[in-house]
Structure 1
Amino acid sequence: MSEAEIRYTVVVPTTGRATLGELLAALPSSPPPEEVVVVDDRPGERDELLLPDGTVSMRVLSSGGRGPAGARNVGWRAAGTPWVVFLDDDVVPTPEWGPALRRDLEEASDEVAGSQGRIVVPLPRHRAPTDLERGTAGLAGAWWITADMAYRSHALAEVGGFDERFPRAYREDADLALRVRARGYRLTWGTRRTLHPVRPAGFLASLWAQAGNADNAAMRRKYGPSWRRHSGEGPGRTARHAITTGAALVATGGAVRAGRGAVTATATVVWLGLTAEFAWRRIAPGPRTPAEIARMVVTSAAIPPAACWHRLRGEIRARPRETTRDDSAEAGRDRTHGTAAPEVTRPVGRAREAVR
């Protein structure tokens, strides 16, 4: 494929983060994207997005707060090019990104439907990374994440794009990749490099992130218990979180009821022991500053019940509805896209750091 035939659209979903301008300013002029589609996913009335001046054509569309999956669907469906390159609004393409992208797409054979960029997470050199920094660094080995992922437009159309039942920026990219691969396409790693700086986050950021457990439940419902292996995921901590939460409930329940001293004491030991193990697992590789230790202790106590709650909520939400005569022919098929659930027999790529 010649350079003249490399036609691609960049799609960037955004919630108006300040990092958007830095990303757009870093996009290449050679070979330039045919268009940059910025999808504003903020609901309701909002300020106008400030886009940098440049030679690349840019337009802003709105997805009305449907989430990143819905925003990306709006973007790729508006594109008129053979390739769509998805970028998150908090990444920065490196200076050589444009030429490397051209090579990645030129070398893609017909059976290759997607090419992933290589994510680089800058970490501090003068100290050990924090829990947040280590979590972000895990993106460097994640499979098929849309922080930088190019797809052929016709492959997206074949599978119906992103499943909007994934409301967060979590698992919607893995779900798309599994469906594309189930169609017989290959996904490859490109040579282009994209920076993903560690962005500031609040004290309870790791606690709020547990909402992703609901999406884990959806993945299990769609692809079975082996979904983690097919998605390049390590083992999670769901079982340990469930034991920790159960022990906490028994310990606190026994404390207000007489005659259960031994049971309460045992449950308390299990609860505190598992919580301490979890906290130390997160503290040990870090900088061990007072602020980091405090954050890890507080969130390590709160994460197990939060994770269990979101997992239960996800399981309930993902339950298959009762099949009726009208839709019995569709049983066992993906109701959003009308395609059979993929049966992937071999994983490809690199493993992602285990998700809590």
Structure 2
Amino acid sequence: MTDTPSSFSSVPAYAVVVPTIGRPCLADCLRALAAATGHPPTEVVVVDDRPAPAGELPLEAAGVLRGRLRTLRSGGRGPAAARNTGWRTVTAPWTVFLDDDVQVLPDWSRLLAEDLAGADGATGGIQGRLCVPLPADRRPTDWERGTAGLERAAWATADMAYRTAALAQVHGFDERFPRAFREDADLALRVRDAGWTLRRGRRTTRHPVRPADRWVSVRTQRGNADDALMTRLHGRDWWIRAGAPRGRLARHALVTAGALVAAGCAAAGRPRAAGAAAALWALGTAEFALARIAPGPRTAREITTMLATSVVIPPLAIRHWADGLIRHRGAAPLGGTR
């Protein structure tokens, strides 16, 4: 890091907010931020979101930024609440959110300065570009491909700069989103509805694929409850306005219905109908599994994982979606108008 040069004297100041649950990758995040040259942040706010913090965070990795770093605690309430805890203490005109598992590139601060300097008065947010490194010697796994999808994600807070005034106007992140999923899309829609514009910047941040067990795709189905909340808050067309992929929920519903109808018909003594419904379930499950296996490394472990999880995912996705619709019935969006 270097001190702000004269060429950056007219660039707006910014603070960096990093929510964390104490993962080891935080050290790499802080180390990369300290190594970036050009236009350093006025402060770095690390928000410790561990419910019961045990052990110290690797703050010394911040190096030359250590004197500008402070920590807050948010009590394990999720990334939306952690980011709110951080940005609400910021006095700089811009707040840049980074996830603790990303690593900014060496020219990140300089390019961020250019992004901020080029923002007109209507610009409420500027997204950084994400780069997900994938294995060069084999095809990526299902989990790796899913992470790589972040390169195309709109308004992802893995690296997202917001005008602090815009955050205040719309009351920040909606803490009804408990996971690192859809809370960024919800915020972006509310910021735009308030009259601000959002755009993509030139800076790039590296987002490695974090280690995960073979059941990670099953656990991520909880995000369907957040999709249900998005529908309640923003209407059925939110997918288009947020630039989000539609997903396979409709197909999951059809496959799950086939399984339920097959079981019901079998119990009612209607074997032909049960067989037809079971065939629908089997074909749908096979199509889902093959769609996940074909682009992957096709190792024995990956194939068995895809087969097993492809059976479990459709009913779980529908269950979480239904739970979300029920839990969030009557939900209203946060924020006001510009």
TM-score bucket of the superposed structures, by smaller chain: over 0.9
Amino acid in structure 1 at the alignment position of 2:314: P
2:50 is the counterpart of 1:22: no
For residue 312 of structure 1, the aligned residue among 282, 305, 322 is 322
For residue 36 of structure 1, give the secondary structure of its aligned residue in structure 2. strand
What is the rounded CA distance, in whole Å, between the counterparts of 1:241 and 1:253 in structure 2? 18
Map of 1:106-121 to 2, 5 A cutoff? 106-121=117-132
Map of 1:259-274 to 2, 5 A cutoff? 259-274=269-284
For residue 299 of structure 2, the aligned residue among 280, 289, 305 is 289
What is the rounded CA distance, in whole Å, between the counterparts of 2:157 and 2:313 in structure 1? 26
What is the rounded CA distance, in whole Å, between the counterparts of 1:53 and 1:9 in structure 2? 14
Counterpart position of 1:81 = 92
Counterpart position of 2:141 = 130
Deviation at 1:2, TM superposition (A): 6.2
Counterpart position of 1:164 = 175
Deviation at 1:23, TM superposition (A): 0.5
Runs of 4+ in 1 over 6 A off after TM superposition: none
Counterpart position of 1:202 = 213
For residue 9 of structure 2, the aligned residue among 4, 21, 41 is 4
Question: Cα–Cα, structure 1 residues 53 and 264, in superposed 2: closer, same or farther, change >3 Å?
Answer: closer
Question: Cα–Cα, structure 1 residues 70 and 272, in superposed 2: closer, same or farther, change >3 Å?
Answer: same
For residue 48 of structure 2, the aligned residue among 25, 40, 47 is 40
Unmatched 5+ stretches in structure 2: 1-5
What is the rounded CA distance, in whole Å, between the counterparts of 2:251 and 2:203 in structure 1? 38
2:239 is the counterpart of 1:239: no
Counterpart position of 1:228 = 239
Instruction: Using structure 1 for the length normalisation, give the TM-score.
Output: 0.89
Amino acid in structure 1 at the alignment position of 2:310: S
Q: Is the 8 A contact 2:124 2:191 kept in 1?
A: yes
How many residues matched? 327
Amino acid in structure 1 at the alignment position of 2:64: T
Unmatched 5+ stretches in structure 1: 322-332, 343-356
Map of 1:142-161 to 2, 5 A cutoff? 142-161=153-172
Deviation at 1:124, TM superposition (A): 1.4
Deviation at 1:258, TM superposition (A): 5.4
What is the rounded CA distance, in whole Å, between the counterparts of 1:83 and 1:204 in structure 2? 38
Amino acid in structure 2 at the alignment position of 1:152: R
For residue 39 of structure 2, the aligned residue among 31, 36, 48 is 31
Counterpart position of 2:57 = 49
Deviation at 1:4, TM superposition (A): 2.3
Q: Is the 8 A contact 2:38 2:107 kept in 1?
A: no
Q: Is the 8 A contact 2:144 2:209 kept in 1?
A: yes
Q: Is the 8 A contact 2:43 2:69 kept in 1?
A: yes
RMSD of Structure 2 on Structure 1 (CA): 1.6
Question: Cα–Cα, structure 1 residues 293 and 48, in superposed 2: closer, same or farther, change >3 Å?
Answer: same
Q: Is the 8 A contact 2:130 2:204 kept in 1?
A: yes
Amino acid in structure 2 at the alignment position of 1:209: T
Counterpart position of 1:353 = none
Deviation at 1:53, TM superposition (A): 4.9
Deviation at 1:171, TM superposition (A): 0.4
Map of 1:100-111 to 2, 5 A cutoff? 100-111=111-122
Q: Larger % of helix: which?
A: 2
What is the rounded CA distance, in whole Å, between the counterparts of 2:271 and 2:159 in structure 1? 55
Q: Is the 8 A contact 1:210 1:310 kept in 2?
A: yes
Q: Is the 8 A contact 1:2 1:106 kept in 2?
A: no
Amino acid in structure 1 at the alignment position of 2:286: A
